[in-house]
Structures are given as structure tokens and as C-alpha cells.
Structure 1
């Protein structure tokens, strides 16, 4: 919803998964957040475990480990920046479908913009990537970073 006196986004959500394109999207979103004085929310939505209980539990643990690694990498990267160049940011991680997780998060925190990396998987040309589905949702400006 438009607000008088508000110039630019207040909250930017960037979906990350550790891929090259998602990390480029995070860097782009961080620069945008810094220049606009916005809060940056970096979100990793872990795929749910499937199969046998043992396989599912192992996948859940791998997802949690990946989330911890991503948050640690982001924190270390931000700490190397001079304080005046660090955007306000927080890290969010949850388990579920990446598209639904990003939509629910963006709605809940009243995001003004979403930034996401372009899919690197060939199958997404047929089924539709998370980025394409977010653009089609038409709920926020979505920037897709190659």
C-alpha cells in the first residue's frame, strides 16, 4: 500500500539458497537497502525432508546446517564492511516450499520489494521458477538478478 512521505522501500526481502545467482541477488539487495536506508531481510527457505524417516531427518539436518553456514557467511561479509556501508539486516530461515515461504514472509513483514536470483535449473523453464512465480504473484516489485 502506498504511503505519503515514504520514498523508496522500507523493507526488502532477498531469497537466498547459496547458489551464485542468489548470492548476487543478496549483494544487490544489500546495496539497494544501504542506499535506500531500508531493512534487508535475507531469507533461506529450506526444502522439507522426504522419503523414509531417516532420509527425511538427514535432509532436515543438512538444511539446518546450510542455514547456519549461510548466516555465518553473511555475518562475516557484513563485518568486513565499514559501519556506514552496512545495511540493517536480519536472517530468516524456515522449512517449506521456497515460493510459499517467501510469500508468507514478505506478507508478514510487509515487504516493499523482493529480490531473488534467477534459477540455474533447466527444468524451471517448464515448471516455472520461484522467481517467475513471485513476479506473476504481482504483490510486490520483484527484481530477478541473473
Structure 2
């Protein structure tokens, strides 16, 4: 019986290493792989001086570019990877959306990259929150 692995991707180096690890694991275990890219909502704190919303527009453009790159990579690399891979794009909080996708798809494992932001040592990263959640085995890739 093939399982399902969920991997969080966001374009950072650690998430790309997590995706590579997940592909290898899925290949070895003959599992399906679901990559989850969570688009955060545009910043709610917009500068008063930014009357035309150019900061939000550039943030959305950057998110569109990352999503487009992921989709292109999935289409281009799927035959070479040797795994059944699907990319799911969601909007919102990365922790909540990863949990939602893992529950909806009955995931057997969740893989994420380690956070590179120093603030997460105090506030808690997505990886820490997933680990504390305890619903699935979580692998955090450095």
C-alpha cells in the first residue's frame, strides 16, 4: 500500500532541500508526494505614503513568480523524478494550511525545511508547531 507524503515548499534553500529529501523518500517507499506552497496574505500593514499600494503589488508579483517557478519545475521534472507528485497552492497561514492539506489527503508524513529566521527561535516556527501538533511524523530538514 503506497502512502502519501506532504512537503512544504516556499522557495527557501531549506524548503528546497526538504523537497529533495521528500522526493527521495517517496521514491524509496513508492509513495505519492504532495508539495504545498502557501501564499501568505498581502501585508496588512501598508505604509501611508504608499497610496497606490505598490508594496503590496510587488509582494503579490513575487508570490506569483515563486508559484510559477514551482509549477514549471513540477511539470518539467515530474518524469525524471519517478514519483507521483502534485503541487497544491493555498493562501493563509503556512502551519494551518499544511495541517489542512495533510488531514484532507490523509498524509502519512509531513516534511518541512528548518526556518532560517532568528525570530522563530522565540516565537516558534512552522516546523516546531507541526512537531508539537503530533498528528503525523514530521521530518525537519536543515
When the two structures are superposed, what TM-score results if normalisation uses the length of structure 2?
0.86
Structure 2: where are the runs of 5+ without partners? 47-51
Q: Describe the superposition over 1:45-100 as per-residue Cα deviations: whole angstroms up to 9, x where unpaired.
A: 01111245834454334323211112212333334x2xxx5111100111111111
- Which residue in 1 is equivalent to 2:67? 67
- Which residue in 2 is equivalent to 1:96? 92
Superposition deviation, residue 137 in structure 1: 0.3
Partner secondary structure for residue 87 of structure 1: coil
Quick check: 1:112–1:140 contact (8 Å CA) kept in 2? yes
> Aligned residue pairs: how many?
135
Q: How does 1:49-60 map to 2 (within 5 A)?
A: 49-50=42-43, 51-52=45-46, 54=53, 55-60=55-60
Distance 1:74 1:88 in 2: 10
Quick check: 1:40–1:87 contact (8 Å CA) kept in 2? yes
Distance 1:92 1:64 in 2: 14
Quick check: 2:78–2:84 contact (8 Å CA) kept in 1? no
Partner secondary structure for residue 143 of structure 1: strand
Q: Are 2:81 and 1:78 equivalent residues in the alignment?
A: no
Partner secondary structure for residue 114 of structure 1: strand
- Which residue in 2 is equivalent to 1:14? 7
CA RMSD of aligned residues (A): 1.7
Superposition deviation, residue 126 in structure 1: 0.5
- Which residue in 2 is equivalent to 1:37? 30
Structure 1: where are the runs of 5+ without partners? 1-5
Quick check: 1:48–1:59 contact (8 Å CA) kept in 2? no
